[in-house]
Chain A
């Protein structure tokens, strides 16, 4: 279904009444403008306009008129709506003069993808999104109580969370997702649903859709779903491990080389080198909240050190054992609070930089990096990821390649927003401080 007429026919045939035109702001929050079926034709002619000045980090008030350009292939009926039926279309944002708007994260990703294509590569991404399902308290507000005490891969008997996850899987399938696996995660109340890899743009769209579906279906089960990276101290946080591989335009895996000792191609090594070189720079994008850095601490299966390994799961990057067409690298630091468009744009740009400048990766580590001491780290030249949002933003502002990946407009707004967040956080007196100092001094 790729043309306007077919889509209009389909929407009428399915008796869709409302269409949500969705887009994502710089901070990764999904926004939408809803139109009725009568307006759909106008929308498909790219005539729907909105005021961009009220969207976080978008534009100044004097240049506020923006146009939405729906991507026809993203049309999907929202299966939980029945009477009236609703559908969605994911949109790009354009300026009134018909050029792509620099502040649209989707456009930013498209730009980097185009750069990769010019080099002869397509990025395929398979994400592993984790999330928590919490209860609400007696006032109906989300709280940190979970419905189960289950652990990794556990089967919980008559488990509200398990049922909710089953419903999420069904709805995602109805929306065209190919679900590979869904299971209980390590922490109580933590779940993961994996869907099949696709090209980077489709995957970024899918991640946004996924988050929407999970939250809505959780609500229908009386649960609160959160993608907050580390909601509870002392248990695992939620990550979004990102499996990446480059395909040639002919569809072959460009990371595989059967003649190499690790069966990785030169392109794979350089990509890896680039990602490792810019890891500090893109941390602010892949881990964009104050809370993100509370997940990146030792002991909870989250990476802390910038290193790579073929087997060990503790470093930043792991090369899963599968080879041939499944050769891929798994980046382990992104978390689901990241804007998927910007995160993928930044990571891909880092990899491409490695390939263009033939950056060799450091030696792989074979031991558990959690157990390395400072001396060993210095000897091996292993550095840590930024310790907090402030450090990450400083690294981002130093990294010209990463700023180029986001574009001038987005990188400026992004840094502003992150610093604002950091300042707000720094001013706040937390419970930890009260517990620690109130009696002591």
Chain B
């Protein structure tokens, strides 16, 4: 290993800890002692900490700051923790991991529907907490970028299908070649300032 690559590794590590420090975490726990403990532990690592004491409060904070991670006690006041977590993840506000001391079947059933299948056991062990937080933030950002890619691909596949269908219709109606049909479609969508798939939709709707 050359000196250069060692430098690079150090730089990377430096850079990495820098990023971790910029992460914001919402701690939602109705118990003051346990909430404080979690906040203290996470604060030591340099995360930006926000707090909530009830389900609705957790949703409100998530909506205004979009934290990178929500650590939620499974036994929360107000709206049930699972309900609040579902809303936070469904509306893509953040990723939720639970802190719990009660591992029953219902808990695991609910966990299956969450973005990340992970939880923290009470009493909280610092090392387990840190590891789980890093694991969750990194994995959820990977999942998020994959979801985005899948959505984008699905969309382009969907528009490709529509464009093909519209082309087919034009070819049949006007008895022209595929290239000419594509040309017409492109020209029309440029004229009307519409994306091509929207134009294709119009054609399918009107003549299909």
Q: Does B57 contact A222, Cβ atoms closer than 8 Å?
A: yes
Contact of A160 among B53, B60, B90 (CB under 8 A): B60
Fill in one digit per residue for B121-136: 1 if any A CB lies within 8 Å of its CB, else 0. Answer: 0000000000000000
Query: For chains A and B in complex, what number of residue pairs have CB atoms within 8 angstroms?
Result: 59
Q: Chain B interface: which of A137-145, A258-266, A323-331, A430-438?
A: A137-145
**Chain B residue contacts of A220, Cβ below 8 A:** 59, 87, 91
Contact of B53 among A82, A138, A147, A158 (CB under 8 A): A138
Fill in one digit per residue for A155-167: 1 if any B CB lies within 8 Å of its CB, else 0. Answer: 0001010010000
Question: Given A136-B54, A138-B53, A160-B64, does the pair A221, B78 have CB atoms closer than 8 Å?
Answer: no
Contact of B57 among A82, A136, A158 (CB under 8 A): A136
Q: Tell which of A137, A140, A219 has the most Cβ of chain B within 10 Å.
A: A140
By secondary structure, the A interface counts as loop
Q: Tell which of B58, B62, B63, B87 has the most Cβ of chain A within 10 Å.
A: B63
Contact of B60 among A82, A135, A141, A158 (CB under 8 A): A135
B76 within 8 A of A: yes
Q: Which of B68-104 contact A (CB under 8 A)?
A: 76-79, 87, 90-91
**Chain A residue contacts of B168, Cβ below 8 A:** none
**Chain B residue contacts of A140, Cβ below 8 A:** 30, 53-57, 76-79
A86–chain B nearest beta-carbon distance, Å: 14
A284 within 8 A of B: no
- Interface size of B by Cβ–Cβ distance < 8 Å? 20
- Interface size of A by Cβ–Cβ distance < 8 Å? 18
By secondary structure, the B interface counts as helix
Give the CA-CA distance A136 to B60 in the complex, in Å.
Answer: 10
Give the CA-CA distance A223 to B59 in the complex, in Å.
Answer: 9
> Closest B-chain residue to A220, C-beta based?
B87
A69 within 8 A of B: no
Q: Does B79 contact A219, Cβ atoms closer than 8 Å?
A: yes
Interface residues of A (CB under 8 A from B): 82, 135-141, 147, 158, 160, 163, 219-224
Interface residues of B (CB under 8 A from A): 30, 53-64, 76-79, 87, 90-91
11 A-B pairs (CB sep. < 8 Å) = A82-B90, A136-B55, A136-B56, A139-B30, A139-B77, A140-B30, A140-B57, A140-B79, A160-B60, A221-B59, A222-B56
Q: Which 8 A-B pairs have the closest CB atoms?
A: A140-B78, A222-B59, A140-B54, A222-B60, A222-B56, A136-B56, A140-B77, A138-B53
